[in-house]
Copies of this chain bind each other. A is one copy, B any other.
Amino acid sequence: MSGAHDAHTRTSATLTLAGARAAVDAALTQAAAIGASMNVAVVDPGGALLAFARMDGAFAGSGDIASDKARTVVSFGGAPTDELYAAIEGEPAVRDGIAGREGVAAFGGGVPVVVDGELVGAVGASGGSAAQDKQVAQAGADAVR
């Protein structure tokens, strides 16, 4: 091998703490607007936590779910978690195998953060219905430009 193609160089966006916190704040605002108590997590492309908040009254057990939803998004190419489930639910073996993995949360409430067409992280929300969780996480992701 010539070595010429060992690494690709490209223009890359990175999610800062300021961006991650803006996402959390927007998600919390949306959750409050619909009267839901949520946990909200933002992760980097490698799945490590950048920012997190649990609203007063939100389930303690939903915190890890929020983080897992966000991590699931970046681990499987950036698909929202509800779309990931929709893609696998037709095959029970795949559905059980992926949705049941430790660290995976493949139900509504995990959405990608995309900047300049690049996946820079994800937001996960948990505590309401799956539809509410998705709405809240999306509000978070939309706050990042």
User: Please, how many angstroms separate the alpha-carbon atoms of A129 and B90 in the complex?
Assistant: 11
A61 touching B89, Cβ below 8 Å: no
The residue that A89 contacts in the complex, of B10, B77, B92, with Cβ under 8 A, is B92
Residues in chain B near residue A106, CB distance under 8 A = 93, 96-97
- What sequence of 0s and 1s flags, for each residue 39-61 of chain A, a beta carbon within 8 Å of any chain B beta carbon? 10000111111111111100111
CB distance from A126 to the nearest CB of B (A): 9
From B3, B18, B94, A143 is in contact (CB under 8 Å) with B3
Known: A10-B14, A48-B63, A91-B107. 4 other contacts (CB 8 A): A51-B53, A59-B75, A62-B75, A93-B108
Q: Which residues of A contact B (CB under 8 A)?
A: 1, 3, 5-22, 39, 44-56, 59-63, 65, 72, 74-77, 82, 85, 89, 91-102, 104-108, 115-116, 120, 129-130, 143-145
